[in-house]
Structure 1
Amino acid sequence: MSSYLLAYQAILDFDNELDVNLLDRVIDTFYTGAGTEQQMAQHLLTQFQDNPEAWTRADCILERSSSTQSKFFALRILEKFIQTRWKVLPAESRSAIRNFIGNIIVKVSSDEETFTKEKTYVRKLNMVLVQILKQDWPGSWPGFVPEIVASSKSNLTICENNMNILKILSEEIFDFSEQMTQAKGDSLRKCMCSQFADIYQLCKEVLDCAKKPELIKVTLETLLKFLSWIPLGYIFETDLVTILCNKYLICPEYRIATLKCLTEIGGLCVQENYNYCRKFGAMFTCAMTHINKMVPLTKDFESCYATGIDHCDEFLLHLALFLTSFLSAHVKVIEEKYPNPKLLINAHIYLLKISRVRDCEIFKICLEYWRTLVQSLYEDYRTKLIDGNMSPDGQSASRPRKVLYKDVLTNLRLLMIERMVKPEEVLIMENEEGVIVREFMRECDTIVLHRNMKEVLVYLTNLDVKEMERIMTRKLAKQMDGSEFSWTNLNQLCWAIGAISGAMSVESEKVFLIEVIKSLLTLCELKPGKDNKAVITSNIIYTVGQYPRFLGAHYKFLKTVIGKVFEFMHETHEGVQDMACDTFLKIAQHCKRSFILPPTSDQPPMINEILINMESITSSLSPCQMNVFYQAIGHLISSEPSYTIQVRLMTKLMTAPNSAWIAIMDQIRQDRASLEEPTTIKILRNVLSTNSAVCASAGPIYGIQFGTIHADLINLYQVSDEIMDAQIAEKGALAVKLPKVRAVRSIKKDILKLFERYVRTAEDLESLTEGVMPGIMNVALCHYRNTIEEARDAEVLNMTAALIDRVGPIASMKVPCVLQCLFESTLTMISNDFCEYPEHRLGFYSLLRAINRRCFKALLSLETTTFKLVIDSIIWGFKHTMRDISEISLELCYDLIQNVSRCETATSDAFYQSYYLCIMQDVFFVLTDTDHKSGFKGQTEVLARLFQLVSSNAIKAPLYDPATVSKPGMSNKEFLYDYVSELMQNAFPHLKSAQIKVFVTSLFEYNVNLVKFKTEVRDFLIQLNEFAGDTDDLYIEEKEAELEQQRKAKLAKALAIPGMVKPADLPSAMDEDGGS
């Protein structure tokens, strides 16, 4: 093997001419070899391409190699060089490389046989040429467009390849422009638009005269990339649309490519003053006329799609895209400018038929349009109703738009019901063998699809309640008489009924829902078989759970439904009990007052009856299901206004868990070894989980229960510690992996989680700090410090962070002790790498953040060495590649600097002199490192704040040592300018000093304008070779902010539409209004 390595090492000799045949053999070994030889080849090739001079070998490899893989290898090296170091070459060298690549492209694409054979190779050559264009055009290559147009007329295959080059160039400039600086992107887009006339003329000539199918196809594909940005005159003031519709749409070979172009045109939004509305209508008329001939409505779309005859599946996909794109942008124009509705209705019938095709992606495309249409119709109807132009029954002088679509909407209602997907609340499904089973993995895609379909159904219901009710009632009747009965049909109908909760008036909902539930209960009795009953039962549970407004307003019906839900808690079929418990929880959350208020003066509240019969109600439930039940009761107790009654209810609720708890604790006191028994641990964990569930839902009143078990919790924690310590002393670190030790440790974790949850709900903070928490804090913190790393629980950090966050300055006196026990012991665990103990890392930085936010004075009072360790830890934190850790650390760093800036000058200046430069240097390090791009938001915020402090002269003391600089009296601004400039120049020697000067100046200029500051930093990072590739993470903040803004706007809009927001998702302030 050593001789093999020695022979092939010659390719790394850059002082002598490259042996291309030898390189070919190394590359061939990499692709076809195995084992050690392949690894050695990979190592050699990595060394080769990492050499700064590797690009100089590209020409001889491309000219002399007989291996396609070698040529690709050379092109990858050249492409990376162009992206990162192109500007360091003199103009003559750049021109020579440009001409070299251009000549190879012309040579390969001149011969049709070679061009066809080497298409993948040519595509890579084209990409390299486009990378050069992005650097040199138009400045160093002003004649590119005339040259490429002229060469296209010399040869058909050259013309075909030139179209590919233009297509890639358009994509790079208009679709992937985030990889360029803003100024560069704007310049290239402007240049492309200004020189487009020649390119358009070339495309037009091909479409008018060409006969070669490949050339026509690639021209249509290239044109597609242009249509989104070219001046509209090229589309509407020429005969381009006519050529596309009348010449290419009707030709099977080109119809999909043509539909894509028409889709792009159809999706363009133009202002009224462009006066293109008529031309849009003419295009739509022409296209639909041809479509009706090509694929008549009499055709069976579903079977046609399933068989894929004549690429029907692909055609229907792009037809759906065309119709939805055009109608979304111009449906109102067609309604207003074309009084004859036949064309419009015809297009919607096509969409209805396409929507029934069994393809999820096609259905999603159509669904998005249906949602847009019904939303628009509803808003139009609602506006006229509010303005007084219409009576509620729909009568109006100018008839509403919804009347135009009456038949379409009726068919759409049926479509939505018959294609309805499973909501997340339904936990059973039919498997591939046709058996009803419990679903364990919920598909996010299905949840989103259900949400979108619900929106459409809610709008359709608001547009015509009676019609929706009529359709659903008729379909339910067909389930009852058996003519349409199937599990799928019943499921989809009930899911649709659940989806429109809240969309009807209170009275209509009452009549409709009573009929639905009665019918389903009757159906459950009529249909034999366990699986049939499971399906019908799940639908009853789901449906009633979606109508809390109705249940809250009708006590007798609520009581009947709750009785049925409790009955289903004994149903042994998989998933039904889970659904019953979840439904009870949902009803409890939204109908609280109905459970705690007496229905009449001589009847007790329903909660009393539930607590009396709780043992029999829950006798069939698993521990997890039991916890859901307890959580539901906790919600009910939280809404009881009387403290005395709350105490009584809480005591009654916790009777059974407390009995089990007392018995187990007595047993442990008598014999500690019993704690190691699996049965004991199981009971303890169940009781702790129950307490945790009640604590989460009951709120502050849970303190009554917590007080009864508080002392036992601390004793149990201590006993668990002692058992673990004994095992560790005997068996060492391996003991923590033993089942017995892991089981005891789980008890400790549950106790800590319960304390943490209680901390977040308790109201008396003084009592919490002085009475409740010291016991567990003393035990947990001391053991955490003294035990081995493997036995430390991250829950200790989480609980402590929660306490400090909750009580704030009250805990200041305890901070030194907390840090003494937790800080260095955790730091030793996480400082060796960025991976081990991820939960401890998160807990560690959450704790530091809580101390900095709530007890900052205590942080400042630490000893200098400890304080320095804190700063070092924060810096270590934002060097993590785990996004949650780096984000917390950057946020912590920013808050710390803010807190320091509010201190007295002497304190703040001492901090800045010690830590300012090291923080800045490390922020620059992560900012310019590819592995930390996701932290861009926090990095730039910290950086901007640091520069603000200097720009505003907030730091009075010098940041430098006067004895080590040439100008001892200079300002901090002068020093920092030189310091950062030198830092950047040393880190990135390939950058010109002018680039660095512009960047550093912008950091001082724009640090008060964070948006502009981030833009300047982004542009600088894009100039660096590390960011020549994917830059999406630099825009994460904007994307997340935009999504959050959209979410809030969407929620506000949805709340104004009856039924649009699921009862479970209503804001808490609205729960009681809708629930009682």
Structure 2
Amino acid sequence: MWLQVVHILQNSQNLNTKFFALQILESVIKYRWNALPVDQRDGIKNYISDVIVQLSSNEVTFRQERLYVNKLNIILVQVLKHEWPARWSSFIPDLVAAAKSSETLCENCMAILKLLSEEIFDFSRGEMTQQKIKELKSSLNSEFRLIHELCLYVLSATQRPELIRATLATLHAFLSWIPVGFIFESPLLETLLKFFPMAAYRNLTLQCLTEVAALQFGDFYNVQYVKTYTFFIIQLQAILPPEKIPDVYANGSTEEQAFIQNLALFFTSFFKNHMRILETTQENIAALLMGLEYLIGISYVDDTEVFKVSLDYWNVFVLELFEAHNQMEPAVTVSMMGLQAQMVPGMVDGGTAVKQRRQLYSGPLSKLRMLMICRMAKPEEVLIVEDENGNIVRETMKDNDVLVQYKIMRETLIYLSHLDHEDTEQQMLKKLSKQLNGEDWSWNNLNTLCWAIGSISGSMVEEQENRFLVMVIRDLLNLCEITKGKDNKAVIASNIMYVVGQYPRFLRAHWKFLKTVVNKLFEFMHEMHPGVQDMACDTFLKIVQKCKRKFVTQQVGENEPFVSELLSNLATTIADLEPHQIHTFYESVGHMIQAESDNTNRDEYLKRLMSLPNQKWAEIIGQASQSIDILKNQDVIRSVLNILQTNTSVASSLGPHFFPQISLIFLDMLTVYRMYSELVSSTIAEGGPFASRTSFVKLLRSVKRETLKLIETFVDKAEDLPHIGKQFVPPMMDPVLGDYARNVPDARESEVLSLFATIINKYKGEMLEDVPRIFEAVFQCTLEMITKNFEDYPEHRLKFFSLLRAIGTHCFQALIQLSSQQLKLVIDSINWAFRHTERNIAETGLSLLLEILKKFQASGFQNQFYKTYFLTIEQEIFAVLTDTFHKPGFKLHVSVLQHLFCAVDGLTEPLWDASSVPYQYTDNAMFVRDYTIKLLGTSFPNMTVTEVTKFVDGLLSSKLDLPSFKNHIRDFLVQSKEFSVQDNKDLYAEEAAAQRERERQRMLAIPGLIAPSELQDEMVDS
């Protein structure tokens, strides 16, 4: 096909046809270049260069054919990635010389240089090997002087706007990596500042200045750059005063809006890298504070992307000030331990400097606190909000972008609070008083204020927090009293609930307040305004989780523990709640009862809590014993489902102490399960697949699923009670497992698989004797359901492999005892799992494979196992590693391959079949090397035998060093050209996860940074 490209380009008048031809040519250059003869490579190279020069030397053709020329430029850069510098060393000098011959040709040369820079420095990771990237960067660096001189020459000599813009755009691409000396030892910055006041070039110039601002350089250049900054501030003030920025953005042209976005990027880059040098003289300080004023103005712009840029910087800025402030305190402690003589001189100087910096920034920091309070994002917990029509609605979807923004703002506000608690408190109370007097009242203003108040929980010392919160709650309750209108009251109520839910430490320390708050929540549970009951139930659960011991302890002045009083009024409290809200309520009370240490009291509370559902359950079972048909009534089925859901909610919070309740209903529950199972099967058998979608069958299956969920929840929560497993598993064997095996596929519940996975994960080796029965009931029939394609029965897929993983991890002996046909079925199913395109199924399959490989390695059966399966597994893993659908599994693919290559050395029997190989190998490592070279050579005909052999030898030599092994595979994936440039972040996911864990440890060390409501119960409820 590609041999026809030149004829098409020369003869076709249709631009679309030319583009198709160029795409074919681009594909050949990217993937087959080195396979072409030298004369053909030179022919393509020269032809593309000639066409570009011909079209871009002429003003008319250059403008008319601009899209075509751009595509040709991209193809030329693809050629350069192969040929330059080794086989085309004159490229840059030739290009610079050509650029000086014509202004339009020069404009296109700039475009080529920009593309080249982007390909090497911006898009190279995952596209080229690490060695190739290093080589190209080095070449571009060494040739840059010529490019730099060309850019300055153009900017000083031309008046053509298109060429100036192209040159500025090229400079912008190069400035992120060029040697700093080029910037400061030439008139480059002065030239850029000359273009800044001109509206036509303002944005491009600002982008160039931002690239320089993002660079880090020593004090010598820093001092020079500060002069540029102060001159820039003078120019900027003449163009746009800081206070006008929000209005200009709101009403401005696209160009003006882009300018403010670019300003945000410039200031944040500059301050991150060069702020400290600005603090040195009074003249610089004025420019510094003016820059911060601009950035605060920009932060009020009503645009998410602009705000994100500013917010990220404010977070860094405030963290740096906080860390300096925080480091002073340990030094003071050391001086008090008798080391005063050595520590004081340096400490005082350092401490003074820190205080001076805090003083310097006190004005901007105060404005920043107000900004954070006014613009606080919506936290995850807030459930009733104002929709786009101005109505109050319950929020069900979680907006991830908003949540990320909230977390950054919350963190920033906590640092600001630590730097000056007094100012933080005063600004919040002042804004709250404006809500009360009506001066500043609006739903949004109250919401953002209360979200901000909630966000600083844990950052103050307890005494200050108590005083502050008493004033806040008092004012909010007053506001609720004086404000008219149900919608207004609902907004205030939701904010009261949100704020009190964020301060568990305060509630634990003030019983009367805690009791008042909970009783207020009970009042809200009767409020029919949309969302209020939901939020009341959710807040009740959140408070109980953090304060549960307070409710089972008899408090001073009370006649009985609060939980007892609550249980006495239970029916009245929940009278107006929907079923899902009642379940949340029951879960909350379960947490209270769980905190009771006296067994007799705890069992009595549980009995009282469950009396309503148990009464209804006994009534239904009693009627069913008279006539089984009662259980087919849809209202009765709904009642059964509701009772089971209530039990599940309590089991989830009460844990092992739920035993008396589940024992009471367990056998009746299995009887109902069996009956509903038979009813589902017969209905589907009679009505065909459509019957499974009827509301009647769906309702019956909901009861079955909830039964399984209840048992699984109890087993999962019943820690360290293996006797419970022994007691509950045998009665389930036929009603649950037997039913699964007997049923038609559409009637099998996937929860059966997850229930037995949970049971095996909990009781481990004690389940060994039951595994054959489980295997027999679910294995073959489930595989038949899920291996026909990758779409049907998605729930069964994941849960099946989770069950298999539980067996492989805890009952491995059962796998060894399988027949060879059964074991082959297991391994085939695992291979099938990790070939799946659904990420969690593929990862479960890979994790299970790795687990089984490790177990067989240590079992004494490794020779037989690897002789049968080594080559199959290696081939399957290489298949998913090198396709484009399984990138997220990269870490596990690498781990499996490393395990296989390391396992080879410990095997004492040959992996090869003597009858099928042409000659004998001296050892397994030699055989595996040969086999892998042939496997990959066949799979990647575009790679030479030398390249493949080098890769395989590299694998074997680096197998004991995981990072090297992993990087070696990354380079191979680039060379094999099977990975596209769009998204290779999954190849680096492991490194990203390690960074996240380091960040969490850092956050735990700063009070309030992880909210008290997010810490584990045992850490806070003491």
CA distance in 2, matches of 1:692, 1:571: 26
Deviations 1:94-116 (A, max 9, x none): 01100001111111111112211
Deviations 1:7-65 (A, max 9, x none): xxxxxxxxxxxxxxxxxxxxxxxxxxxxxxxxxxxxxxxxxxxxxxx111110011100
Structure 1 residue 280 displacement after superposition: 2.5
Q: Is 1:312 aligned to residue 262 of structure 2?
A: no
Alignment CA distance shift 1:602-1:424 (3 Å): closer
Q: Which residue matches 2:370? A: 414
Q: Is 1:1050 aligned to residue 1006 of structure 2?
A: no
Which of 988, 994, 1003 aligns to 1:1038? It is 988
Q: Which residue matches 1:798? A: 754
CA distance in 2, matches of 1:592, 1:628: 15
Q: Which residue matches 1:464? A: 420
Alignment CA distance shift 1:982-1:492 (3 Å): closer
Q: Which residue matches 1:821? A: 777
Q: Which residue matches 1:328? A: 272
Q: Which aligned pairs between 1:864-903 and structure 2 lie closer than 5 A?
A: 864-903=820-859
Deviations 1:310-352 (A, max 9, x none): 8321111111111111112222221136675211111111111
Which of 60, 63, 72 aligns to 2:7? It is 60
Deviations 1:474-504 (A, max 9, x none): 2222222222222222222222211222222
CA distance in 1, matches of 2:1018, 2:994: 21
CA distance in 2, matches of 1:222, 1:634: 66
CA distance in 2, matches of 1:396, 1:940: 53
Q: Is 1:169 aligned to residue 113 of structure 2?
A: no
Structure 1 residue 644 displacement after superposition: 2.4
Q: Is residue 2–residue 25 contact of structure 2 (8 Å, CA) maintained in 1?
A: yes
Which of 217, 222, 227 aligns to 2:165? It is 217
Structure 1 residue 990 displacement after superposition: 2.7
CA distance in 2, matches of 1:852, 1:566: 49
CA distance in 1, matches of 2:735, 2:1003: 50
Q: Which residue matches 1:716? A: 672
Structure 1 residue 176 displacement after superposition: 1.0
Q: Which residue matches 2:933? A: 981
Which of 229, 234, 245 aligns to 1:284? It is 229
Which of 754, 759, 765 aligns to 1:809? It is 765
Q: Is residue 328–residue 351 contact of structure 2 (8 Å, CA) maintained in 1?
A: no
Q: Which aligned pairs between 1:226-245 and structure 2 lie closer than 5 A?
A: 226-245=174-193
AA in 1 matched with 2:981 = D
Q: Which aligned pairs between 1:970-1049 and structure 2 lie closer than 5 A?
A: 970-1027=922-979, 1029-1030=980-981, 1032-1033=983-984, 1035-1036=985-986, 1038-1039=988-989, 1041-1049=990-998
Secondary structure of the 1:437 match is strand
Q: Is 1:196 aligned to residue 144 of structure 2?
A: yes
Q: Which residue matches 1:781? A: 737
Secondary structure of the 2:355 match is coil
Q: Which residue matches 1:70? A: 17
Which of 860, 866, 889 aligns to 1:935? It is 889
CA distance in 2, matches of 1:395, 1:884: 52
TM-score, normalised to structure 1, is 0.91
Q: Is residue 962–residue 969 contact of structure 1 (8 Å, CA) maintained in 2?
A: no
Structure 1 residue 557 displacement after superposition: 0.8
Deviations 1:203-242 (A, max 9, x none): 1111222211111111111111111111111112222112
Alignment CA distance shift 1:641-1:270 (3 Å): farther
Q: Which residue matches 1:658? A: 614
Alignment CA distance shift 1:363-1:397 (3 Å): closer
Alignment CA distance shift 1:929-1:488 (3 Å): closer
Alignment CA distance shift 1:612-1:336 (3 Å): farther
Structure 1 residue 748 displacement after superposition: 0.5
Fraction of identical pairs, as percent: 43
AA in 2 matched with 1:1032 = D
Greater Cα offset, 841-850 or 487-496:
487-496
Alignment CA distance shift 1:399-1:1021 (3 Å): closer
CA distance in 1, matches of 2:138, 2:351: 53
Q: Is residue 808–residue 855 contact of structure 1 (8 Å, CA) maintained in 2?
A: yes
Secondary structure of the 1:1048 match is helix
Q: Is residue 594–residue 653 contact of structure 2 (8 Å, CA) maintained in 1?
A: yes
Secondary structure of the 2:279 match is helix
Deviations 1:133-186 (A, max 9, x none): 101111111111111111101111111111111111111111111211111111
Structure 1 residue 586 displacement after superposition: 0.9
AA in 1 matched with 2:233 = M
Alignment CA distance shift 1:219-1:484 (3 Å): same
Q: Which residue matches 1:86? A: 33
Alignment CA distance shift 1:560-1:138 (3 Å): same
AA in 2 matched with 1:975 = F
CA distance in 2, matches of 1:759, 1:881: 32
Secondary structure of the 1:423 match is coil
Structure 1 residue 373 displacement after superposition: 1.7
Which of 121, 124, 134 aligns to 2:71? It is 124
TM-score, normalised to structure 2, is 0.96
Q: Is residue 648–residue 713 contact of structure 2 (8 Å, CA) maintained in 1?
A: yes
AA in 2 matched with 1:387 = A
Q: Which aligned pairs between 1:503-582 and structure 2 lie closer than 5 A?
A: 503-582=459-538
Q: Which aligned pairs between 1:341-380 and structure 2 lie closer than 5 A?
A: 341-380=285-324
Q: Which residue matches 2:380? A: 424
Q: Is 1:761 aligned to residue 717 of structure 2?
A: yes
Secondary structure of the 2:919 match is coil
Structure 1 residue 391 displacement after superposition: 13
Q: Is residue 380–residue 400 contact of structure 1 (8 Å, CA) maintained in 2?
A: no
CA distance in 1, matches of 2:633, 2:673: 16
AA in 2 matched with 1:645 = N
Q: Is residue 676–residue 740 contact of structure 1 (8 Å, CA) maintained in 2?
A: no
Structure 1 residue 601 displacement after superposition: 7.7
AA in 1 matched with 2:316 = T
CA distance in 2, matches of 1:230, 1:595: 66
CA distance in 1, matches of 2:353, 2:14: 77
Q: Which residue matches 1:386? A: 330
Alignment CA distance shift 1:288-1:712 (3 Å): same
Structure 1 residue 398 displacement after superposition: 6.7
CA distance in 2, matches of 1:671, 1:100: 90
Q: Is residue 545–residue 1017 contact of structure 2 (8 Å, CA) maintained in 1?
A: no
CA distance in 2, matches of 1:990, 1:441: 48
CA distance in 1, matches of 2:998, 2:87: 48
Q: Is residue 540–residue 588 contact of structure 2 (8 Å, CA) maintained in 1?
A: yes
Alignment CA distance shift 1:934-1:489 (3 Å): closer
Greater Cα offset, 988-997 or 396-405:
396-405
Q: Is residue 631–residue 696 contact of structure 1 (8 Å, CA) maintained in 2?
A: yes
Q: Which residue matches 1:258? A: 205
Q: Is residue 769–residue 810 contact of structure 1 (8 Å, CA) maintained in 2?
A: no
Which of 834, 851, 863 aligns to 1:909? It is 863
Structure 1 residue 691 displacement after superposition: 1.4
Q: Which residue matches 2:340? A: none
Deviations 1:689-709 (A, max 9, x none): 111111111121112211111
Q: Is residue 381–residue 400 contact of structure 1 (8 Å, CA) maintained in 2?
A: no
CA distance in 1, matches of 2:179, 2:364: 36
Q: Is 1:675 aligned to residue 617 of structure 2?
A: no
Structure 1 residue 618 displacement after superposition: 1.3
CA distance in 2, matches of 1:754, 1:293: 70
Secondary structure of the 1:931 match is coil
AA in 1 matched with 2:902 = Q
CA distance in 1, matches of 2:218, 2:372: 34
Structure 2 spans left out of the alignment, 5+ residues: 333-343
Secondary structure of the 2:476 match is helix
AA in 1 matched with 2:931 = Y
CA distance in 1, matches of 2:982, 2:249: 39
